[in-house]
């Protein structure tokens, strides 16, 4: 499945082109070469003798490199193309392209090769919102390079284009006059170097430049080390091994290294709009990846701790102790036309920060980091009650303080219409969504464990546990929709239930805030026909007023959402229901060639042979990329207990035998095994699953 665009990326930098490798970006079109939220190439078009080329095929070599096979003209069944054109492109804080022409004629050929180049230096927010720029542009040819520039005050961006072969360079591109003997080839290397000046005085040098033209082998070696360090997965169901490898490679591609990370990486949220640090997304992805790449969690915790809020700032929705939502480096942020330097408008990242810190310590045993981040964790826990409780009713709620640029919904379902009553009406603000209370409960319980086990503060631990118990009691009283036997999506400003049935109830299981007696009803809803499509759990149940199977947060299926729902079901002992959800999502992953998109359609599986694509979904997206990893953990029932890793498998029959070898953690390295025994029936026939026999390890 493809949207016709070719994407290559390396954390801070990505390039999006058509299938010929050409870039022709309009203001609102997310194609181009982007780095640190600025588009450095908006036009990059190759012609031979004035003609555009036709695409034959594309090789996806690595996440940072691709190869295009092209021919000029309009070859037919009767007339073969006489010239092959190969473009091989790599990104890495810049752009490198090797261009090769091969003459298949028995006589020499003379051709004119032209690369047209331009940059609008658009801020990513300007691309999303089709906004005009305020600065001035420059073009010049200097010392054999085409220099494209943009300046607004002290904010400067520059694109420098050079070639290894002689070219006629003008202000709009490069022209080559090429002679090729019979069955010979001609080639050149073209480099695009991006420079950032202002807003931190950052100058970027390409990762791939060794002798100014040739790619270093280090990027390939880095990927090899990344894959070698991760556990090995062996499975009878062959698609799972491919899905697992695709997830690891995409996570490598999405590694983002802000300056304060000192060369370490955390997960960027997703291509094309969110190639930057996101509090919530980076935390969720780090949780998913813990058994496989725990270093992501460590960096995420350190960097988010360094940027933790320290003051009350209404423009940025900042509070002391609050964990950031999003960090941007573009022009609109530099001139405070957007608040993302950083922006703190999310209500969930702060409790989730404590959840990640505890889960990381449970896996890694890294008490040094937990001690070092004790002030940040305490500040985050304090934020829950001191600032998160906006109404003084004991619940985290949110309302943006910046009406012009702040996020309206500051939970993970952050689109404008995602929070609604059963009849489809929208509540006022502040809003207290249910999963936020679950995260707060979990953070307090986990904070108590850290206070007792690592910080040597048993009194603080007792206080947090007492607060958590009280929160759980009140929550189960105030959010429970008795006539439907589920938890309300939210409470409105008057304390009334926002009574839509949604996937958020699965996050409540994951957090542990659900009363044991009510958990079976929640599990039945999650695998029942209103929420579960057969491919996965919908964000909003069929029959709700705003239900739309292709609505962003009102009926689509989000893989990341399903992975945490499955984890929550396992927490409460619903192993088979968790396996049922894992089976649907992994089936979808196989159809998506191993790469789960941000979201896909919530249509009933019996209606569609394939999961229906959502038209503007990010792909790859970090927490979708992490979904198969968490599902593997969930199916095998991997849980750290002290210095040991316990295994309690519950796999669908179709998975067969599953092995995860060399799982890293405080135990060193260990293997886990399981065999599929859970018989997944068609969703319309699926009864309430009882405990089934599972394999042991």
Residues 49 and 195 grouped into a single domain: yes
User: Of 4, 39, 54, 196, whose CA–CA distance to 117 is shortest?
Assistant: 39
Residue 1 lies in a domain: no
Rounded Cα distance, 627 and 289, in Å:
9
Tell which of 156, 191, 217 closes a domain.
217
In order of 36, 83, 281, 556, the CA distances from 152 in angstroms are 17, 44, 32, 41
Residues 157 and 235 grouped into a single domain: no
Residues 187 and 241 grouped into a single domain: no
Is residue 202's pLDDT more than 60?
no
Residues 390 and 433 grouped into a single domain: yes
Residues 34 and 167 grouped into a single domain: yes
Residue 610 lies in a domain: yes
Interval 88-114: pLDDT, tens: 999 887 889 999 999 999 999 999 999
Tell which of 217, 239, 261 closes a domain.
217
Look at residue 686 in the predicted model and tell me its pLDDT. Answer: 35
Which domain does 58 fall in, by range? 6-217
Q: What CATH number is attached to the domain comprising 21? A: 2.70.98.40
DSSP one-letter code for 154: T
State the pLDDT confidence band at 298, using cuts at 50, 70 and 90.
very high
Residue 336 lies in a domain: yes
3-state helix/strand/coil string of 1-58:
CCCCCEEEEECCEEEEECCCCCEECCCCCCCEEEECCEEEECEEEEEECCEEEEEEEE
Which residues neighbour 251 within 8 Å (Cβ) at sequence distance 6 or greater? 267, 285, 289, 293, 296, 622, 625, 626
Is residue 213's pLDDT more than 80?
no
Rounded Cα distance, 539 and 532, in Å:
10
Rounded Cα distance, 251 and 245, in Å:
10
Look at residue 439 in the predicted model and tell me its pLDDT. Answer: 98
* Positive/negative CA dihedral, 630, 633, 637, 639: negative
Interval 598-646: pLDDT, tens: 999 999 999 988 999 988 777 889 999 999 999 999 999 999 999 999 9
Rounded Cα distance, 472 and 8, in Å:
46
State the pLDDT confidence band at 80, using cuts at 50, 70 and 90.
low
Cβ atoms of residues 34 and 12 within 8 Å: no
Mean pLDDT for 28-37 is 87
Cβ atoms of residues 292 and 248 within 8 Å: yes
Look at residue 231 in the predicted model and tell me its pLDDT. Answer: 97
Q: What CATH number is attached to the domain comprising 386? A: 1.50.10.10
Is residue 590's pLDDT more than 50?
yes
Residue 211 lies in a domain: yes
State the pLDDT confidence band at 681, using cuts at 50, 70 and 90.
low
Residues 487 and 604 grouped into a single domain: yes
Residues 213 and 329 grouped into a single domain: no
Mean pLDDT for 501-520 is 98
Q: Is residue 272 reached through a cis peptide bond, with omega within 30 degrees of 0 on the bond before it?
A: yes
Residue 222 lies in a domain: no
Is residue 660's pLDDT more than 70?
yes
Residues 207 and 335 grouped into a single domain: no
Residue 225 lies in a domain: no
In order of 7, 45, 201, 257, 312, the CA distances from 121 in angstroms are 19, 17, 17, 22, 33
Look at residue 199 in the predicted model and tell me its pLDDT. Answer: 52
Quote the mean pLDDT of the chain. 91
Least confident residue range of 83-87, 437-441, 693-697: 693-697
Interval 391-406: pLDDT, tens: 999 999 999 999 888 9
DSSP one-letter code for 540: B
State the pLDDT confidence band at 477, using cuts at 50, 70 and 90.
very high
What share of the chain in percent tops pLDDT 70?
93
Mean pLDDT for 2-15 is 76
Which residues neighbour 354 within 8 Å (Cβ) at sequence distance 6 or greater? 377, 380, 381, 443, 446, 447, 450
pTM for the whole structure? 0.90
Look at residue 442 in the predicted model and tell me its pLDDT. Answer: 98
Rounded Cα distance, 21 and 43, in Å:
11
- Give the count of domains, the chain: 2
Residues 209 and 282 grouped into a single domain: no
Residue 696 lies in a domain: no
Measured in Å, how far apart are the chain's first and last C-alpha atoms? Answer: 37
State the pLDDT confidence band at 472, using cuts at 50, 70 and 90.
very high
Residues 307 and 202 grouped into a single domain: no
Is residue 193's pLDDT more than 60?
yes
Tell which of 183, 217, 251 closes a domain.
217
Mean pLDDT for 521-546 is 98
Q: Calculate ∠ Cα 502-539-357, nearest 5°.
A: 90
Interval 547-585: pLDDT, tens: 999 999 999 999 999 999 999 999 999 999 999 999 999
Look at residue 696 in the predicted model and tell me its pLDDT. Answer: 31
Cβ atoms of residues 661 and 291 within 8 Å: no
Residues 354 and 478 grouped into a single domain: yes
Residues 259 and 302 grouped into a single domain: yes
Cross-sheet strand order for the sheet of 668-678: 232-235, 657-665, 668-678, 651-652
Look at residue 74 in the predicted model and tell me its pLDDT. Answer: 60
Residue 27 lies in a domain: yes
Look at residue 245 in the predicted model and tell me its pLDDT. Answer: 96
Is residue 691's pLDDT more than 50?
no
Rounded Cα distance, 68 and 20, in Å:
6
- Please report which residue ranges of 264-388 form alpha helices under DSSP H: 279-289, 295-306, 331-334, 349-364, 367-372, 374-386
Interval 359-393: pLDDT, tens: 999 999 999 999 999 999 999 999 999 999 999 99
Interval 123-182: pLDDT, tens: 988 887 777 888 999 999 999 999 999 999 999 999 999 999 999 999 999 999 999 999
């Amino acid at each position: 499945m493809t949207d016709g665009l070719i994407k290559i990326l390396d954390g801070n930098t990505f390039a999006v082109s058509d299938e010929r490798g050409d870039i022709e970006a309009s203001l609102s079109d997310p194609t181009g070469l982007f780095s640190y939220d600025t588009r450095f190439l908006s036009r990059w078009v190759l012609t031979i003798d004035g003609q555009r080329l036709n695409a034959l095929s594309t090789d996806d070599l690595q996440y940072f490199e691709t190869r295009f096979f092209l021919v000029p003209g309009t070859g037919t069944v009767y007339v073969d193309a006489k010239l092959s054109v190969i473009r091989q492109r790599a990104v890495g804080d810049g752009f490198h392209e090797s261009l090769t022409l091969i003459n298949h004629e028995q006589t020499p050929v003379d051709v004119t090769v032209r690369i047209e180049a331009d940059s609008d230096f658009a801020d990513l927010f300007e691309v999303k919102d089709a906004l005009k720029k305020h600065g001035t542009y420059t073009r010049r040819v200097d010392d054999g390079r085409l220099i494209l520039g943009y300046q607004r005050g002290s904010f400067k961006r520059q694109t420098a284009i050079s070639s290894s072969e002689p070219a006629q360079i003008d202000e709009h591109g490069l022209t080559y006059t090429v002679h090729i003997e019979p069955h010979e080839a001609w080639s050149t290397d073209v480099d695009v170097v991006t420079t950032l000046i202002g807003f931190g005085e950052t100058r970027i040098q390409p990762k791939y430049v060794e002798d100014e033209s040739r790619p270093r082998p280090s990027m390939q070696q880095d990927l090899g080390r990344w894959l070698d360090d991760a556990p090995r997965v062996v499975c009878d169901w062959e698609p799972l091994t491919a899905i697992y490898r695709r997830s690891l490679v995409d996570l490598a591609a999405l590694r983002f290294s802000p300056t304060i990370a000192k060369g370490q990486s955390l997960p960027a949220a997703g291509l094309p709009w969110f190639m930057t640090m996101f509090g919530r997304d980076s935390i969720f992805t780090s949780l998913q990846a813990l058994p496989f790449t725990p270093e992501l969690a460590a960096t995420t915790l350190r960097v988010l701790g360094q940027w933790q809020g320290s003051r009350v700032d209404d423009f940025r929705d900042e509070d002391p102790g609050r964990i950031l939502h999003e960090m941007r480096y573009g022009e609109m942020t530099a001139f405070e036309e957007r608040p993302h330097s950083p922006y703190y408008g999310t209500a969930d990242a702060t409790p989730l920060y404590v959840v990640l810190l505890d889960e990381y310590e449970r896996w890694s045993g890294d008490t040094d980091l937990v001690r070092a981040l004790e002030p940040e964790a305490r500040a985050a826990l304090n934020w829950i009650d001191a600032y998160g409780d906006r109404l003084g009713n004991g619940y985290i709620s949110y309302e943006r303080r910046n009406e012009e640029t702040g996020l309206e919904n500051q939970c993970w379902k952050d689109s404008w219409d995602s929070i609604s009553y059963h009849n489809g009406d929208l509540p006022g603000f502040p809003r207290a969504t249910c999963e936020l209370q679950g995260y707060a409960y979990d953070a307090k319980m986990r904070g108590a464990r850290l206070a007792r086990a690592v910080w040597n503060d048993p009194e603080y631990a007792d206080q947090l546990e007492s607060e958590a118990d009280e929160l759980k009691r009140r929550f189960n009283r105030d959010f429970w929709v008795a006539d439907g036997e589920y938890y309300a999506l939210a409470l409105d400003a008057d304390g009334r239930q926002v009574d839509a049935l949604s996937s958020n109830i699965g996050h409540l299981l994951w957090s542990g805030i659900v009363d044991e007696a009510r958990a079976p009803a929640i599990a039945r809803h999650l695998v029942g026909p209103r929420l579960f499509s057969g491919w996965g759990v919908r964000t909003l149940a069929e029959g709700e007023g705003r239900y739309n199977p292709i609505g962003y947060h009102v009926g689509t299926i989000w893989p990341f959402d399903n992975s945490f729902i499955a984890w929550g079901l396992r927490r409460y002992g619903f192993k088979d229901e968790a396996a049922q959800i894992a089976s649907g999502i992994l089936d979808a992953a196989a159809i998506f060639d191993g790469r789960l998109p941000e979201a896909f359609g919530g249509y009933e599986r019996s209606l569609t042979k394939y999961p229906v694509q959502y038209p503007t979904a990010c792909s790859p997206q970090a927490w979708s990329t992490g979904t198969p990893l968490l599902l593997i953990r969930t199916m095998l029932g991997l849980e750290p207990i002290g210095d040991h890793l316990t295994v309690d498998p519950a796999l669908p029959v179709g998975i067969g035998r599953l092995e995860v070898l060399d799982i890293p953690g405080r135990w060193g390295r260990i293997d886990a095994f399981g065999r599929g025994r859970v018989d997944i029936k068609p969703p319309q026939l699926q009864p309430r699953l009882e405990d089934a026999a599972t394999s042991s390890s």
